[in-house]
Chain A
């Protein structure tokens, strides 16, 4: 049994393309990205880092509600997203708002989601995805369904879902990956292993040495990827996507990453469960620093360009918060109205009751 474990674990060496110094260490897997693509990736990562900083500040000012910090996970979130197409369907977890934004969800709606307003979840036509899932694991079984649906329709698109390291302990995680495997669903499962599920380190979730190897239980092709390396994440996603569209079934991708901030802004204090040394160590692997070094080496990035992105992001955020402020407040009649296609009799009665109240 020990031999079996060792042999399985040896299959999951971490896949890396760009090292901490911004050097390409795996030329065969260096994705074919144009200079414009490379700059766009950098722009999105910097923009998203600013979005995180501003979101934390706005949350502290009481101008945002629920917020799960993303700093550190830019390569994992945006590198994977960059390999997707518009038709691909995203089933995010609560931390995966950036992918939705870059998939087309207007920023002010992402802010309305944070505040708790239904309009935040009314995705514009053509933005394929669900609002962030709060029940950890539910998105995994649903992604199997979306991936099977795409296959049945003959659509050249994939379902993409994200969970964290803690989420791999859920029954729904196993069920979802297993269903997708059994049906050859066009689904990509991401496990963003940011080392902690709130305060619980990944070692307390499982004795498995990698999370990628959990795909073995479902017979699903799985990869362990450096989640601080945007090229590795992009390359793995691209390959998983091609496999899905070629009818080769789902993939599971574990991205080894880290969140610099707290779990959420609802009172979590990460100094209670992890050391400053640990965070410093991960900061050395920062995905943005790494890509910046790479781009500077190719003369594709400058401080001015970066500052411009930062200023643009701040400006967009300011506008979006204003737009969120201006959006009409929710009424009970609005909430009743979005419950059903045809209102059942109890809600018809309550609609009348609240219309009356609201008219006063």
Chain B
């Protein structure tokens, strides 16, 4: 066991999978000798060679097509999109092609591709680096969307994603890359896809979050404890599909829910989660399910991130509303 940052845990996961399976290929813009713009692939080319870990021309759609073509030759591609905002360039490759491969071939071909991409606010990036675009991919059948919030989950979920025989859009929050260290086993291990995780148990209100908002929710929960409100914090981890079983179990216990996302109110997956809750557990609800989200504007100019991004205070306000409903 070692104390690792999330970015180290991610590198670790790719290291194990490159070692375990010769079909695994890691590629993207500057992921080779440079080791990635965030050092996520540092040392991997030296260890495994340019045949396994390589740079690409600067073209996201090309990277998407390349991934699918390599998958059709039996490889297990782990491409990187340098920043999530550039996903638009690859939307056809991801949603129009990769996600549909198994279905359109009548299950005769598959696309075991894990697309890694950094996203998320709070680190003053330039335009179109930090946007939360998970909602766009989550609406596409055929591809899973995974968002880890801790180093342990990041490693286990990334290994599971790479081993999965269908595509995964793996989103890495930039603010979480190096903000804290945690225990991460040295060996390879998996964390189940499609399963949420209760990060903190509580009986008074359920806070559902993913990505950096898990930590925002945990911080809010800590404050709420001072007022004798015990919040249960669920980290979705996989946001498409959503683990409704874990959520409904929690709702039955707490009867109150606040759904938290960093994405704008009209984006993300909060609306979907709330619809599912009202269909499955309305009789267990003592109050409407409320949302904490960003406002419906374009992602803020970097100096405005502090006033724009949702905070633990926003969460506490919403919790008080559902408690006092």
A interface residues (Cβ-Cβ under 8 A, vs B): 89, 118-123, 130-131, 135, 138, 140-150, 152-153, 159, 171-172, 175-176, 178-179, 182, 335, 337-342, 344-347
Give every chain B residue within 8 A of A172 (Cβ-Cβ).
61-62, 65, 92
Q: 13 interchain pairs (CB within 8 A)?
A: A119-B106, A121-B106, A131-B105, A145-B67, A145-B68, A150-B73, A172-B65, A179-B62, A179-B65, A339-B102, A340-B142, A341-B165, A342-B164
Q: Interface size on B (CB < 8 Å)?
A: 44
Give every chain A residue within 8 A of B64 (Cβ-Cβ).
141
Evaluate contact between A152 and B97: CB separation under 8 angstroms.
no
Evaluate contact between B108 and A141: CB separation under 8 angstroms.
no
B interface residues (Cβ-Cβ under 8 A, vs A): 51, 56-57, 59, 61-62, 64-75, 92-93, 96-97, 102-110, 141-142, 144, 164-166, 194, 240-245
Evaluate contact between B104 and A121: CB separation under 8 angstroms.
yes
Give every chain B residue within 8 A of A131 (Cβ-Cβ).
104-105
Evaluate contact between A121 and B93: CB separation under 8 angstroms.
no
Considering the complex, give the chain A residue whose CB is closest to the CB of B71.
A145
Evaluate contact between B194 and A144: CB separation under 8 angstroms.
no
CB distance from B55 to the nearest CB of A (A): 10
Evaluate contact between A159 and B65: CB separation under 8 angstroms.
no
A138, A145, A146, A338: the one within 8 Å of B103 (CB): A338
Evaluate contact between A179 and B73: CB separation under 8 angstroms.
no
Give every chain A residue within 8 A of B92 (Cβ-Cβ).
135, 138, 172
Evaluate contact between A337 and B57: CB separation under 8 angstroms.
no
CB distance from B117 to the nearest CB of A (A): 18
Q: Give me the 3 closest cross-chain CB pairs, A-B, nearest first.
A: A145-B69, A141-B65, A149-B73
A341–B110 alpha-carbon span in the complex (Å): 9
A89, A119, A120, A152: the one within 8 Å of B75 (CB): A152
Give every chain A residue within 8 A of B56 (Cβ-Cβ).
179
Give every chain B residue within 8 A of A144 (Cβ-Cβ).
62, 65-66, 69
Evaluate contact between B75 and A141: CB separation under 8 angstroms.
no
Considering the complex, give the chain A residue whose CB is closest to the CB of B69.
A145
Q: A142-B69, A146-B70, A342-B165 are known contacts; what are 10 more A-B pairs with Cβ within 8 Å?
A: A121-B105, A142-B65, A144-B65, A145-B73, A149-B69, A149-B74, A179-B66, A338-B103, A344-B194, A344-B240
